[in-house]
Structure 1
Amino acid sequence: MARYPQLFVVGAAKAGTSALHHYLAQHPELGMSAFKEPHHFASFTPDPRLRHMIRRYEDPAQYLALFAAHAQRRIWGESSPSYLFDEQAARRIHARVPQARLIVLLRDPVARAYSHYLMDCREGLQREAFWPALQRDYALPGKTWGGAGHCYVELGFYARQLRRYLDLFAREQLLILEFAELCAQPATTLRRVAAFLDIDPQGFAAVQAEAVNAYAQPRHALGRRLMAQQGLRRAAQALLPPGARRFIRERLLLRRSAKPAIEPQALHWLRALYAPELQALEALLGQALPSLRLELPEHPHALPDLSPQPA
């Protein structure tokens, strides 16, 4: 029988999964997938406009090839944030790997939605201001991961998403982490991960810090136009190695900057919408999650810079 990964970072989107994957990949006992988000166990079909951002490794052979370099590693793992939202992913993972270990990163859902929107603006996928974009997207029916809609609101309904996993997996198979702790205390987070996976915590001693959802915007009008050209980006993905693409993107097209403030009406509407969901989440998990309400100030001027400290 083919060996499958035993560790899945299932989400949430825009909650630090890339940084955590980066940390996990540096541990000598872990073999993380060469492609961070293979989405193998999800059920969505990506919108053609997003082919430069999303790829599904549906074929089992291609999926397992992502772990070929890690034959001697004790635990294989991957990080696909679609799995938390996708209605079929929990069942599919359980059918293949019933003893899987699952890590879930949770973030203030209001901040998650706004971070998601800012990413779409940077990628040329969104041009409206946040408040009208939020209302328009929320009204769209039948949204899926990687589909025509953005799911700004729906991706923050954590309680109903986690319930699918808790219906199938034992509670001790899930580790719930908070984005705020990963940002402020990455070493503490990684010690919890090591205990959960029964791996040597010293394996994380020399990890290189990773920026968590750092905000960047186009440097100039030309950069904005180029970022919005999906055909050009697909060609670059096909022709240029990852290092060259990263250099062009981070050094020539984008620049780091402070996040713009969220519109007050959007903040207050989302806070009210998510309040019962967060109560249901805390009841489901049997633990308080105060950081999921505190990332954004009630009277924002600028969003806080949550850059991680070295682990």
Structure 2
Amino acid sequence: MPSSSARTEPPTGRTLSFITISPAFDPQGQPRKPGALCIGAQKAGTSWLAQMLGQHPQVWIPPFKEVQFFNHRFIPGHRKWIGWHYRNKPDEIRTRHRTRNLPMPPELDAYLDGLTRGQMFHNHWYKRVFAPAPAHAMPMDFTPEYSALPDEGVDFVAEFLPKARVIYLIRHPVDRAISQLRMNLQREKRRPRTLADWMAEIGNPVLHDRGDYASYLPRWQARFPDMLVLPFGRIARDPQAVMDAVEAHLGIGPHPYANMRDKVFANRDPLTVPPQAIAALETHMAPQLAFLADRFGADFLAETR
């Protein structure tokens, strides 16, 4: 196992456009529960963290990253698009292999087919998701939507995974909402034309729901008091410190990560949100900012952006 002194600073300036999943794959592995969860927040660096931990031999991440199990059970409004997720992600993985002229491993193909046929989202199905994890590796579920689980959902997670190590990345509420808005508009191929259009967009409850830290953090910390909470801005300023904290929390050894300063899914043509819309978001998010400052301090809040 390499020592921390053996680490080297990776090159900068590149954009990673896909997730590097854990390369190890045990087709004879038995169904098992994950040992760790990354529960969010959406647009707060979870893909970057998956990119890093996907390189670590002691961590195993499913090839589609987000399992969407607990929210499927406890947030009925998510079920329609979760169905889309599982219809499309296996095809994306197969297409990725074809475009890179890589043979599709038959065991991976069989695994994807098996998970998306028949009854899904029951407890044993969830454990089957992590079956290919090597015996020496900790399976990990990265699903940002878990942060929004209701009380009974978090109770279920705590009962089902009582020893899980939980990570929550926190991004500045306004920045997070703007990033989500841009992503949603680009996915839907829409561009607001007028200020009134923009004001209508920022009033969408979905933008505020994913960043409701004042509701979600106490809920999760009550069941997982040792949950690791990290500010998003630290990823850019000191990615090594982030990974040191994550390794310590997960109980895994140090690893020389590649491309720590690269961006994942960087937006090359971001939409410009009018300042009036940003000001309205700042007003709406003021209680969230006050909550974060009160709970973690001003220095932590400053590091969320």
Fold equivalence (TM over 0.5): yes
Residue number in structure 2 paired with 1:270: 281
CA shift digits 1:13-57 (9 cap, x unpaired) = 011111111211111111122321111111224364675447796
Confirm or deny: 8 A CA contact 2:66 2:141 kept in the other structure. yes
The equivalent of 2:271 in structure 1 is 260
Q: Report the secondary structure of 2:60's partner residue.
A: strand
Describe the SS at the equivalent of 1:167.
helix
Shift of 1:72: 1.2
Distance 2:194 2:86 in 1: 23
Q: Flag the 1:16–1:51 CA change in 2: closer, same or farther, 3 A.
A: same
Contact preservation (8 Å) 1:16, 1:213: no
Indicate the percent of aligned positions where both proteins have the same amino acid: 27
The answer for the alignment partner of 1:109 in structure 2 is: 173
**Corresponding position of 1:184:** 237
Q: How does 1:222-237 map to 2 (within 5 A)?
A: none
Gap change, CA 1:179 and 1:39, over 3 Å in 2: same
Pair 1:61–1:34, CA change in 2 (3 A): farther
TM-score w.r.t. structure 2 length?
0.69
Across the two proteins, how many residue pairs are aligned to each other? 240
Bigger Cα displacement from structure 2, 100-109 vs 267-276: 267-276
Structure 1, gaps ≥5 residues long: 144-150, 216-255, 296-311
Residue aligning to 1:75: 138
Query: Larger relative CO (CA 8 A, sep 6+): 1 or 2?
Result: 2
- The answer on 1:44 being equivalent to 2:75 is yes
Partner of 2:295, secondary structure, is helix
Distance 1:94 1:194 in 2: 22
Deviates more, 1:280-289 or 1:62-71: 280-289
Contact 2:198 2:273 in 1 (8 A): no
> What's 1:211 paired with?
263
Which deviations, in whole Å up to 9, do the C-alpha atoms of 1:257-304 show, x marking residues without a partner? Answer: 3x23321111111112222222222323467423367x4xxxxxxxxx
Offset of residue 73 of structure 1: 2.9
2:252 maps to which of 181, 188, 199: 199
Q: Which residues of 2 match residues 11-30 of structure 1 at below 5 A?
A: 11-30=40-59
Q: 1:113: how far off?
A: 0.9
Q: Deviations over 1:198-237 (max 9, x none)?
A: 2111x2x04344524411xxxxxxxxxxxxxxxxxxxxxx
CA contact (8 A) 2:38 2:166 kept: yes
TM-score (structure 1 length as normaliser): 0.68
Matches within 5 A, 1:26-175: 26-42=55-71, 43-45=74-76, 46=78, 48=80, 51-53=83-85, 58-87=121-150, 88-124=152-188, 126-128=190-192, 132=196, 135-136=199-200, 151-170=206-225, 172=226, 174-175=227-228
Residue in structure 1 matched with residue 108 of structure 2 by the alignment: none
SS in 2 for 1:128: coil
